[in-house]
Amino acid sequence: MLILPYSDDWQPLRGEFDVIKKASRKKGLSKWEKAGIPFIILIVAWVVYSVAHPSISIQPQTTTSTSIQSASQQLGYKTISVSDANALIQSSPNLLVVDVRTPQEYAQGHLKGAINIPLSDLPLQIGGLDQSRPILVYCQTGVRSAQAATMLVNASFTQVYDMEGGLTAWINAGYPTVTS
């Protein structure tokens, strides 16, 4: 029997523990279970062993632009570069550009033709947006716009674009902003 501390927080991890348990049976985990040693002790022991033996380690996952784009496409929207966003703005007269930053941030500079719907207000104003129009969302760095893109997709918008890097990347690429 696998002994785990009881907590509702452990429930999402139970499947992962079961996978580790099954994979580890061949390596003697069942002896630990029979002895009644909590599974968490095995994890701590493995971490200590890994520190003492650095050749055995877990390599960190790195996030690349391609993996961000793949993840966003799975969520139903497309993350695009500032150069692709600029091209989309130039080629799509029906495009709705939405700045999800605060009104104060918007007043300091925004994309020409963009409307300001702060992320906190988007759930209240989403019903007033035309679902048939393509929508480009952006914020300062790309975090809030990704949340906005998810909200739009969840509200059945089908042509949603998130500008990667936000206004910071736009400005760094040399594209213009307006204050009026």
Contacts 24+ apart (CB under 8 A), 92-96: 92/134, 94/133, 94/134, 95/133, 95/134, 95/135, 95/136, 96/129, 96/130, 96/133, 96/134, 96/135, 96/136
Residue 142 appears among annotated catalytic residues: no
Enumerate residues 6+ apart whose C-beta is below 8 A from 142.
Answer: 162, 163, 164, 165, 166, 169
Which entry of 139, 146, 152, 163 is annotated as an active-site residue? 139
- What is the DSSP code (8-state) at residue 112? T
Say which amino acid occupies 85.
Answer: A
Which two structure tokens, joined as six digits, stand for 28? 């003697």
Which residues are marked as active site? 139
